[in-house]
Every structure is written in structure tokens, then in C-alpha cells.
């Protein structure tokens, strides 16, 4: 799974900014392997927010919303609720995505996420990578933030 290689200008994300959009690539080393590449919009906070995933052509594929009462996954007309954001992203992608940690990673701050290790060395270029090594299945996440 590869994101198209277009150069992003160097920039610093304001610390209080709570909205990011760009491209996301996720590869899950399951049997069979699963992958997703397309657009994303992340907004809100770890306590209450929304993650929108879209196709490379911009069509909305899924919307995940969460708050203190639980989380909801919407795919077209279908809606699934859960008390756990991790469970909903696992249903959607094959692995629990580190959505809560993504807020810190996108701000350039290292944050712990169950089994995930972030590489923030290219954050100033708008790029974040993370790898999940445990629990299995292993996974790799790449984010490219658009200005």
C-alpha cells in the first residue's frame, strides 16, 4: 500500500488546532492482509471527535464519532454503536487504530498507544508514521497532512 508521493511544504501545526485532513494509509498484516489508502479528516479531541475516511476520489467511506457515552461507526446508511472506539476501528480496519494518540502525533508530540510506536521525524513535513508490533496483527499507519 502506497500513498502517492507529492511533496508537502514544511509547516508547523498550531498547538490548539483540532482539525487535520490529508491522506492516510493503513496496512494490516492479517490473514488475508488488509489495507486502506485514501483521505482522512480528524477533528475534535481524544474525548469527543470525528474521524472521516474517504476513497482516493473523495467519496465518504466511513465516519467514526465518539464521546464519553461511546462511539458510532457510520458506513452509508448502516450504523454501529459501541462503548469502545478501539472496537469500532478494529471492525472497520482489522486493527484498533490509535485515534486518541493521533491527536498528539499530529501535533508533533509522542504519545503512547497500545502496541504502537510513532516515528515523528518528518512531522515538520506533515508526515507521521506509526507501526504496531503487538498485539498481532502487526500494522503500519502513514499520515500525510495537507496544509
pLDDT digits (tens, 9 = 90+) for 17-31: 489 999 999 999 999
CA distances from 108 to 32, 40, 99, 134 (A): 33, 18, 15, 23
Mapping DSSP onto H, E and C, the string for 67-119 reads ECCEEEEEECCEEEEECCHHHHHHHHHCCCCCHHHHHHHHCCCCCCECCEEEE
Does residue 112 fall inside a structural domain?
Answer: yes
Question: What CATH number did the domain enclosing 49 receive?
Answer: 2.50.20.10
What H or E segment, with its residue span, contains residue 54?
strand 49-54
CA distances from 21 to 49, 62, 71, 146 (A): 14, 15, 20, 6
Listed as ranges, residues in the chain with pLDDT below 70 are 1-17
pLDDT of residue 1: 34
Does residue 132 fall inside a structural domain?
Answer: yes
Classify residue 110 as left (phi > 0), alpha (psi -120 to 50) or beta: beta
pLDDT of residue 18: 83
Does residue 3 fall inside a structural domain?
Answer: no
Does residue 10 fall inside a structural domain?
Answer: no
pLDDT of residue 3: 34
pTM attached to this predicted model: 0.83
Range of the domain at 47: 20-145
Does residue 34 fall inside a structural domain?
Answer: yes
Q: What is the rounded distance in angstroms from the CA atom of residue 15 to the CA atom of residue 25?
A: 24
pLDDT of residue 139: 96
Does residue 86 fall inside a structural domain?
Answer: yes
Does residue 119 fall inside a structural domain?
Answer: yes
The tally of domains found in the chain comes to 1
Does residue 36 fall inside a structural domain?
Answer: yes
Amino acid at each position: 500500500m502506497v500513498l502517492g508521493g507529492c511533496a508537502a511544504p514544511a509547516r508547523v501545526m498550531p498547538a490548539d488546532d483540532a482539525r487535520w485532513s490529508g491522506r492516510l494509509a493503513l496496512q494490516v498484516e492479517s490473514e488475508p492482509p488488509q489495507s486502506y489508502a485514501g483521505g482522512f479528516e480528524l477533528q475534535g479531541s481524544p474525548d469527543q471527535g470525528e474521524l472521516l475516511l474517504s476513497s482516493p476520489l473523495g467519496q465518504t467511506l466511513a465516519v467514526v464519532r465518539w464521546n464519553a457515552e461511546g462511539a458510532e461507526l457510520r458506513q452509508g446508511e448502516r450504523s454501529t454503536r459501541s462503548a469502545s472506539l478501539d472496537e469500532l476501528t478494529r471492525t472497520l480496519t482489522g486493527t484498533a487504530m490509535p485515534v486518541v494518540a493521533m491527536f498528539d502525533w499530529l501535533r508533533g508530540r509522542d504519545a503512547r498507544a497500545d502496541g504502537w510506536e510513532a516515528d515523528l521525524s518528518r512531522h515538520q513535513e506533515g508526515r507521521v508514521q506509526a507501526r504496531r508490533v503487538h498485539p498481532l496483527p502487526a500494522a503500519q499507519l502513514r499520515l500525510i497532512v495537507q496544509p
